[in-house]
Chains A and B, each alone.
Chain A
């Protein structure tokens, strides 16, 4: 069964200030969505809520197909959120890419193979054994993408992935993300400005004045066109 994300009546407040109120939001497998909005409107907060890293004050986020949960358990493994500036764990680039694989019950051999694939995919092979904190901003972003890619996520939330990158890095990252979309992953990209990456997206939603508005949707148009 393909992935579906359903959010209902989402409200987030910080103290007395209501950041946003979203009656309904849906996302399906394979959709790519550009979440537009000025700095400080709550894009990061919304994406963390959708990823299960933050809790809404009200409302619910449902991910289908659902799975069982234990109090000790991990978050849903189908969904991965990437920070605007990736966090780099202590260790080498290869260690970082292997991080999530260690919690999926893979054997060492499989982990090594997948890390090698991830390194090639992100063109970081030459830096595999380098200390990851020494990477440049663009390389860190590619490493973070590879760290997610090797886990084969079905929904990827990218928080301003190209905000701190130079032009070449932006096009590399855009290629990598469009590859993941082509493989069937759903992607949400937030950005306060249009980039090579946001232009790839089929849907565009605008977070403004605490509301989420669908500005454009090529999937919808196709539906209505037929």
Chain B
């Protein structure tokens, strides 16, 4: 108990003293995960839209595959990507292994199925008449799509938060393809794993606090946006 309290105090001190190493790690995490979600969001949203609105053979198989991919452990994605990017792998010449771009690629792969599945169900829950009304009132189809995005904005925001939550906190893939290099590819989860294994808890707890705070913030944001939407 005593050690928990002293560790927490040490963690707070680290956070508020502006410890350079700590904030570099936090910066890496955000840069990588925000890039990944920014890259994945629009293609995933378009795919989710297509799956919800267009009937084509194999549609349900694709939805099922996406659902299954959501549950794939991050280390498995990391291992696969490692094999592809390692020197003897098919993309070995790109020398991407143990770089931030490799981590971004891994996280894109991780959040993509989450975004597709959740935006698919978001678009599915929008009334079919919304699309027809937009079209018959003269909206070109890409504008009608934007209208649907607006109609489903709460569910789509929830999809983004869920996708971001999956990648900002994942250890397995970042560890395998990023290599946990201090100042470059060490992010919050890999740092927590490393520091804890070394028996130094203060930095781990400080980083854990950042993740916790982030989770709280995002969910408060979501709840407040939703709450305002319902005040009609």
Contacts and interface: CB of A to CB of B under 8 A. Distances in A.
Interface in A124-165: 131, 133-134, 147-148, 151
A80 interface: yes
B72 interface: no
Contact of A74 (B130, B135, B150): B135
B139 A131 contact: no
- Interface range, A side: 20 to 34
B129 to A, nearest CB: 4
- Chain B CB count within 10 A is highest, among A77, A103, A134, for A103
Interface residues of B, number: 20
A77 B132 contact: no
Contacts, number: 62
Interface of A: 48, 51-53, 72-75, 77, 79-81, 83, 85-87, 89-90, 99-100, 103-104, 131, 133-134, 147-148, 151
B220 interface: no
Interface of B is mostly: helix
Is chain A's binding surface mostly helix, strand, loop or mixed? Answer: loop
B13 to A, nearest CB: 47
Contact of B137 (A52, A73, A147): A147
Interface of B: 127, 129-130, 132-143, 147, 150-151, 153, 232
Contacts of A87: 127, 129-130, 132-133
Given A83-B133, A90-B151, A131-B232, A72 B138 contact: no
A52 B135 CA distance: 9
28 contacts: A51-B136, A52-B136, A53-B135, A53-B136, A72-B141, A74-B135, A74-B139, A74-B141, A75-B135, A75-B136, A75-B138, A80-B136, A83-B132, A83-B133, A85-B129, A86-B129, A86-B133, A87-B127, A87-B129, A87-B133, A89-B133, A89-B151, A100-B137, A103-B139, A131-B232, A133-B232, A148-B137, A151-B138
